[in-house]
Amino acid sequence: MKYNKVLSIAGSDSGGGAGIQADIKAISACGSYAATAITAITVQNTIGVSNVHAVPNQILAEQIDAVLSDIGADAIKIGMLHSSETIHVVADALNKYQIKNVVLDPVMVATSGDKLLLDEAITTLKEVLIPMVKVITPNIPEAEILLGRQIPTQEDVFECAAELANHYKVSVLLKAGHLNEDELIDVFYDFEKQESVEMKSNRLTTKNTHGTGCTMSSAFAAFLSQGNDLQQSAKKAKDYINNAIVAGADYEIGEGHGPVNHFYQLLETCKQ
């Protein structure tokens, strides 16, 4: 018997709702084995990020090498990278190991509004790393940074997903949660097939949205690791995060943005 394995390369969230902690939960809940390489340690809770300590790049490189040289990975999820130097370390590893299923969540700003990527690293992300991966999963603010212009309405999401995909030659899952419509339509643009897929859900009023981006991209990587194609993985990841948000909407944890309920399926089974 063999596990479907996902390596998450991301930052640690001491509050447990986002980052590596969310990645481990989501990958596990979606049925794959989670290994990790930590890029930075954040001092973080539901209210915000008060400090960030970058892991030395040599230690990051050795973490990635330790996992991929022994355990291997059927997919890689990349999250918070913080600096240009860190991005180059990850790019070197991707060149070395040639893992095909790589999902990049271009983490730039936390749910609380705290900046997680240095300005000088944005150019490196665009020019070096994005062209190397299979899928990127930006939210609206991140996509606006990548495009260099605003995405004001739901109608713009369709055009912008295709524009991002064809500019960077990568498939794009553009998340619409930052818009104001009651019906949210995330758009997945499959660059390999040049097709757009609409993924609809109703907006839910809840403050428990911390780590939704980390969770969705990790689920996407987990489903790719299991042999699903791009569109199947996108749809399954959308269903997973939507159900996790619904299941966690009414919980109270901390004073700010709480997490989603990553293990809602397990909890439902335990109650039966």
**Catalytic: 258?**
no
Which of the following is catalytic: 16, 213, 248, 258? 213
**Catalytic: 30?**
no
CA distance 34 to 55: 20
Which of the following is catalytic: 11, 211, 248, 258? 211
Domains present along the chain, CATH in parentheses = 5-270 (3.40.1190.20)
Buried b (16+ CB within 10 A) or exposed e, 39-61: bbbbebbbebbeebebbebeebb
**Catalytic: 111?**
no
Q: How far is CA 136 from CA 54, 62, 186, 261, in A?
A: 23, 25, 13, 23
Which of the following is catalytic: 39, 86, 124, 209? 209
Per-residue pLDDT of the chain (272 residues), as tens digits, is 999 999 999 999 999 999 999 999 999 999 999 999 999 999 999 998 899 899 999 999 999 999 999 999 999 999 999 899 999 999 999 999 999 999 999 988 665 566 667 778 889 999 999 999 999 999 988 999 899 888 877 778 889 999 999 999 999 999 876 666 667 889 999 999 999 999 988 888 899 999 999 999 999 999 999 999 999 999 999 999 999 999 999 999 999 999 999 999 987 777 76
Which of the following is catalytic: 77, 134, 175, 236? 175
**Catalytic: 175?**
yes
**Catalytic: 100?**
no
**Catalytic: 209?**
yes
